[in-house]
Homo-oligomer: A and B are copies of this chain.
Amino acid sequence: MSSESKRSSELRRSMPLLPIGTVMQLTELTARQIRYYEEHELIQPHRTEGNRRMFSLNDVDTLLEIKDMLEQGVNMAGIKKVFDMKKNSSMLKAQANEEISNSELRQILREEMKLAQRSQKPSLRHGDMSRFYQ
C-alpha cells in the first residue's frame, strides 16, 4: 500500500461518523461501558457542538479489541499497557518510515504473551471492523 493511500484511508477511518447508539449495536457494548472506557482514555471520541460523542470506525475497532481483551480476563490496566505498546511501536514505524523490525516485533509479542498468560488465556485476538465497510 502506498503511503499516500494509507494516509487517506486512515483519514476516512478516523472520521467521526457514528453516534453512541450505533456503536452500541455494532459492538454490543452498553453506553455505560463505552463511556467508562473513554473515561479511562482508551478512546477519544469527538464531540458535536452539543456535546454528543461521535465515533469513528477506528474507535469501533478499538472498542471491539477492548471487549475481546476484557472477555479474556485482561483488566483495564492491562489493556492500557497493550495500547501504549501499540502506539509506541507504530511511532517507531512512523519514525523510521519502514516496517517494524523483527526484534521489535519479538519484544511486542513477548509482552503480549506475558499478559495473555497472566489471564490464563492462550492468545489475544482482537475484533475486526473490516466486515462493516468496504
**Chain A residues proximal to chain B, CB less than 8 Å:** 8-9, 12-13, 15, 17-19, 21-22, 26, 48, 54, 57, 130-134
In the complex, what's the smallest C-beta–C-beta distance from A46 to chain B, in angstroms? 11
In the complex, what's the smallest C-beta–C-beta distance from A108 to chain B, in angstroms? 24
A131, B9: Cα distance in complex, Å: 8
| CB closest residue in chain B, given A9 | B134
Q: List 25 A-B contacts (CB under 8 A).
A: A8-B131, A9-B134, A12-B131, A12-B132, A12-B133, A12-B134, A13-B133, A13-B134, A15-B132, A17-B17, A17-B18, A17-B22, A17-B26, A17-B132, A18-B18, A18-B22, A19-B19, A19-B22, A21-B48, A22-B54, A57-B133, A130-B134, A133-B133, A133-B134, A134-B134
A8, B19: Cα distance in complex, Å: 24
The majority secondary structure among interface residues of chain A is helix
| CB closest residue in chain B, given A48 | B21
A12, B19: Cα distance in complex, Å: 17
For residue A131, which residues in chain B have a CB less than 8 angstroms away from its CB? Answer: 8, 12
For residue A130, which residues in chain B have a CB less than 8 angstroms away from its CB? Answer: 134
For residue A134, which residues in chain B have a CB less than 8 angstroms away from its CB? Answer: 9, 12-13, 130, 133-134
